[in-house]
Homo-oligomer: A and B are copies of this chain.
């Protein structure tokens, strides 16, 4: 077996016969997770100030690691028959979605790592979060969930439409009732919507609350409607999951 084939066996999950991930892919997944976590933590000044040297070493390691991984994948991709052979095969792979995400993460990190402002470099570091998309392979449970969500598409859309109408009606009423008393918070319908969504989702920040008796009465009705708004998708999803699982069981029995 050539070195290229060996490396391909380690890199491409499709090349693997055994279940689970290869050792190389486990290392790559770990580095992705660490790089995402470090990108998130790296925005906190309390954690970076005074440790810039260590952060730079780590950043350079991550960028180098992904650059080598990218180069490696471009080199071995022709082993996968789906991509075809030669430079044409490599180009086809380079234009596939996973390879483009890799490039989007990598390119700015290389371009802006030298000589640019710390703030800009930090923002581009956040691009690494995109790599989480590469981890999205919880196949079976994911399938079941997307089936369940897809089958109840219309019901979920309808409950979203009901939510939109409730937001419009409640914020219009509160604008009319409270607008004169609290122009800062209810002086226009878009402003009242902030309160309306916080109430209907039962988040209830409490930064904006009605103060007139009529406004509070309408607010109480809105809050009660909000419970229905939570109960509806919960009910729809409950029956969706229940059906999707029964379907799967039936198929398993039929086989």
Contact = CB atoms under 8 A, between A and B. Distances in A.
Contacts of A232: 237
B235 A188 contact: no
A188 B43 contact: yes
A136 to B, nearest CB: 9
Give the dominant DSSP class at A's interface: helix
A105 B209 CA distance: 31
B43 A189 contact: yes
A91 interface: no
A199 B203 contact: yes
A15 interface: no
A187 B47 CA distance: 12
Interface string A205-234: 111010001001000100110111111111
Nearest to A138: B158
A201 B230 CA distance: 11
A154 interface: yes
Given A234-B234, A242-B242, A201 B226 contact: yes
A95 interface: no
A43 B190 contact: yes
Contacts of A108: none
A239 interface: yes
Contacts of A145: 155, 158-159
Contact of A220 (B197, B207, B226): B197
A188 B44 contact: yes
B230 A123 contact: no
A165 interface: yes
Contacts of A227: 201, 229-230, 233
15 contacts: A40-B168, A43-B189, A45-B187, A197-B223, A197-B224, A203-B226, A204-B204, A205-B209, A230-B231, A230-B234, A231-B237, A235-B235, A239-B241, A239-B242, A239-B245
